[in-house]
Amino acid sequence: MRLGGIVIDTTDLELQARFWSGLLGLEITRREADWITLGPGLALQLVPEARTVKNRIHLDLITDNFPQAMAHATELGATPVGEIHEGLWQVWRDPEGNEFCICMS
């Protein structure tokens, strides 16, 4: 068995596609009415329900330039959650509230 990719549920495919493709620099490689694939391993799936509880799985995004990555995420609509931990990582939320971390390499 092998990992085929990571799928993020969303109620707004276009909003999330703009956010995640802009944040990670990934092109849309597949588009359907209820599915958008970004690059080789990330996809967005249209679902009817909004996120209601904390993620059980999240993405750790690695950067060499922490201030620049945080500014870029903010410009795209992400919001920080709490403080920067150990000067190395911080939890963020995408425009629909899905959590991810920005981490120093």
Q: How confident is residue 85, by pLDDT bands cut at 50, 70 and 90?
A: very high
pTM for the full predicted model: 0.92
42-65 pLDDT tens trace: 999 999 998 888 888 999 999 999
Residue 50: φ, ψ to 5°: -80, 160
Is 56-105 CATH 3.40.50.300? no
86-100 pLDDT tens trace: 999 999 999 999 999
Question: Residue 9's pLDDT is what?
Answer: 96
Which string of DSSP letters, residue by residue, matches 5-60?
Answer: -EEEEES-HHHHHHHHHHHHTPPEEEEETTEEEETTTEEEEE-SSPP-S--SS-EE
The third-level CATH classification (topology) of the domain covering 1-48 is 2,3-Dihydroxybiphenyl 1,2-Dioxygenase; domain 1 (3.10.180)
Q: Where are the domains of the chain?
A: 1-48, 56-105
1-48 and 56-105: identical CATH topology: yes
